[in-house]
Amino acid sequence: MIVLARRLGALAVTAAAALALAGAPAQASPAPIDVRLIGFNDFHGNLEPPAGSGGRVVLSDGTTVMAGGAAYMATHVKQLRTKNTLLFSAGDNVGASPLASALFHDEPTIDFMNDIGVNASAIGNHELDKGYQELLRKQFGGCASDGCQFEKTFSGAKWPYLAANMTFDNGLPAALPFTVDFSGGVPVGVIGVPLHDLPSVTSADAIKGLKFGDEVQAINSSADLLDRLGVKTIVVLLHQGDNTEGGGPNDCKTAPGPALAIAKAASPKVDVIFSGHSHQQYNCTVTDPAGNPRPLIQGASFGRLLSVVDLKIDPRTKDAIRSKTVAHNEVVTRDVTPDPTVQALVSKAVSEAAPIANKAVGTITSDVVAAEQASGESPLGDVIGDAQLDSTKSVGAQVALMNPGGIRADLNFKSSTAGVPDGTVTYANAFAVQPFANILQTETLTGAQLKAVLEQQWQPQPDGSVQQKMLQISSSLHYTWSASAPIGSRISAITVDGQPVTPDGSYKVTANNFLTGGGDGFTVLKSGTGIVGGAIDLDALTAYLTAHQNLAPPALDRITRTS
């Protein structure tokens, strides 16, 4: 709290300087001031070039190009920099990271972002995976409880993490709401906003004592304050995003969603909105409440795209000339010379992680993918469900449930690591699939509660749409669902170990602590009784892979969908 108060005080001084500058008589200028903003989002510690679909960018014509990698990204940032440039992140810089970053508490990723000169970042939900105190350590530095693992010391981020709508339970701010940067002699206000629904996608224990307010209200109050301080050019880093219906990096084929709604409703004082969270690529122009255009842009994920917004700022008003704003997404291609400083950092992280990362934990006969079939079932989801059930049978578990958002990568047959034979699953591969270190918990549910949990896979949204989140399940559970049935009445024919589930029956169900805490909207799981703790989910998966060598993708016969 003391350090945060100091940061707030420093921000007040910066804002006062902006006010003094804005209030000073402006020199006549024959031309607007050019300021370039570069943004990225959802980097997730991908220091090495990401592999598979996570390393491809789909272009407008359907062709693909391999993209991403911190050293390539650093080169592209340098090439894109102009005289007046600011670099931002829309959040999720770390968390669910590959082992080369995660093994060292994601400190290499913070070092990388320091190296490329990030000016500010929104707080994303994954910034809080390990709790608020760890977020403060990322910001201000210091060693973790097990010491500094990557370098002898860790100085933290040189840029501020922002969250205008994040408070403590008592209403006091838990982070800086905004910062003010200067570019071309112009003050630029930068507001950071995590998604209001962050508690639904983060473990309840990790965000205990924190609250997340409405995004638009937080943006508007911060924009009003910046405006009163004389800061007229305002940027929002929004960790909330929409899905798309295809398209390339500079298409706008977004499905109606929360980011678009926020972009349309937020204060007209805001000139640019960088979004994140949904890992999609789009470049849209949105009309603000005053009828003026502004960009809403997102750059996929894992450092594959850089979102570039070129502003022309009136030297008299210090405000962006909206009609002259130009935005595009730039592909982080791998045909440039990797930045040597960043490449050295990446090589060090990969080398030091290698003894653990390259340890074989199992073998597979072909790709085991996370992609869901029409029923909602996926091969990798089945494997994880079985692994979690195996791990908790000793405490009587009969069924295991896994949230699909916690499955972060495929298990690929073809190895991308030199010296590792195809078909080998390394610890790094398994870690990429389940990087959160969630704890398995086994609880008792009635049959009625189990059905209610399954019914919560379809969740009505405020805009009238329905969000589908299909739980991945162990082989002991089978059921049928009807796509045409009303929400809340879609599930039928539930069996456990081949026996029909009865409403008043008692069933021991395993899930990770994110789900048992009501995560992803599965609130019924909070009602379970007799909770018994188990292993870390990753440990359960690696033990299962070791015990089931030459594992083939399971038959997808657990979930049946009818029309």
- Amino acid 9: pLDDT: 53
**Quick one: pLDDT band at residue 464, thresholds 50, 70, 90?**
confident
| Residue 550 and residue 471 in contact, taking contact as beta carbons nearer than 8 Å | no
- On whether residue 117 sits in a domain, the answer given is yes
Q: Which domain CATH number covers 491? A: 3.90.780.10
- Least reliable range by pLDDT among 21-25, 176-180, 480-484, 498-502: 21-25
- Amino acid 108: pLDDT: 98
Rounded mean pLDDT of 52-63? 93
In terms of Cβ atoms closer than 10 Å to its own Cβ (0-12, 13-18, 19+), residue 461 is exposed
Same domain membership, residue 468 and residue 529: yes
Same domain membership, residue 330 and residue 452: no
Same domain membership, residue 320 and residue 368: no
Question: Is pLDDT at 422 greater than 60 in this prediction?
Answer: yes
**Quick one: pLDDT band at residue 139, thresholds 50, 70, 90?**
very high
**Quick one: pLDDT band at residue 476, thresholds 50, 70, 90?**
very high
Rounded mean pLDDT of 245-259? 95
| Average pLDDT taken over every residue of the chain | 94
Rounded mean pLDDT of 131-146? 97
Question: Is pLDDT at 2 greater than 50 in this prediction?
Answer: no
Q: In whole angstroms, what is the distance from residue 216 CA to residue 27 CA?
A: 35
Question: Is pLDDT at 306 greater than 80 in this prediction?
Answer: yes
- Amino acid 475: pLDDT: 98
- Amino acid 75: pLDDT: 98
Rounded mean pLDDT of 381-399? 98
- Amino acid 29: pLDDT: 52
Same domain membership, residue 142 and residue 63: yes
- CA dist list (Å): 427 to 435, 514, 541: 11, 22, 10
Write the CB contacts of 182 (distance below 8 Å, at least 6 apart in sequence): 18, 188
- Amino acid 8: pLDDT: 53
- On whether residue 116 sits in a domain, the answer given is yes
Name which of 330, 346, 527 is nearest 443 in CA terms: 527
- On whether residue 27 sits in a domain, the answer given is no
- Amino acid 417: pLDDT: 85
Report CA torsion sign: 289, 292, 293, 297: negative
Rounded mean pLDDT of 427-453? 96
Domain boundary among 312, 342, 372: 342
3-class DSSP string for 349-379: HHHHHHHHHCCEEEEECCCECCCCCCCCCCH
Q: In whole angstroms, what is the distance from residue 210 CA to residue 166 CA?
A: 7
Rounded mean pLDDT of 267-276? 98
Tokens of 115: 């190296």
Name the residue range of residue 505's domain.
360-561
Same domain membership, residue 98 and residue 218: yes
Same domain membership, residue 388 and residue 279: no
- On whether residue 25 sits in a domain, the answer given is no
**Quick one: pLDDT band at residue 26, thresholds 50, 70, 90?**
very low
Work out how many domains the chain is built from and give that number.
2
- CA dist list (Å): 163 to 122, 124, 166, 174: 6, 9, 5, 8
Same domain membership, residue 479 and residue 403: yes
Same domain membership, residue 329 and residue 366: no
- Amino acid 323: pLDDT: 97
Same domain membership, residue 297 and residue 238: yes
- On whether residue 1 sits in a domain, the answer given is no
| Residue 536 and residue 392 in contact, taking contact as beta carbons nearer than 8 Å | no
Q: What is the pTM of this model?
A: 0.89
- On whether residue 407 sits in a domain, the answer given is yes
Q: In whole angstroms, what is the distance from residue 159 CA to residue 156 CA?
A: 9
**Quick one: pLDDT band at residue 289, thresholds 50, 70, 90?**
very high
Same domain membership, residue 136 and residue 67: yes
- On whether residue 354 sits in a domain, the answer given is no
Rounded mean pLDDT of 501-517? 97
Same domain membership, residue 199 and residue 248: yes
- Amino acid 19: pLDDT: 47
Domain boundary among 281, 307, 342: 342
Please state, for a pLDDT cut of 90, what percent of the chain lies above it.
Answer: 91
Q: Which residue has the higher pLDDT, 458 or 6?
A: 458
Rounded mean pLDDT of 423-444? 96
Residue type, 335: D
Burial 402-420 (b: 16+ CB within 10 A, else e): bbbebbbbbbbeebbeeeb
- Amino acid 461: pLDDT: 84
CB count, 10 Å around CB of 23?
A: 9
**Quick one: pLDDT band at residue 183, thresholds 50, 70, 90?**
very high
Question: Is pLDDT at 418 greater than 90 in this prediction?
Answer: no
- On whether residue 353 sits in a domain, the answer given is no
Separation of CA 165 from chain center: 17
Q: Which domain CATH number covers 321? A: 3.60.21.10
**Quick one: pLDDT band at residue 149, thresholds 50, 70, 90?**
confident
Same domain membership, residue 387 and residue 270: no
- Give the residue ranges of DSSP H helices in 66-214: 70-80, 99-102, 107-115, 132-140
CB count, 10 Å around CB of 436?
A: 21
Q: In whole angstroms, what is the distance from residue 456 CA to residue 415 CA?
A: 37
**Quick one: pLDDT band at residue 160, thresholds 50, 70, 90?**
very high
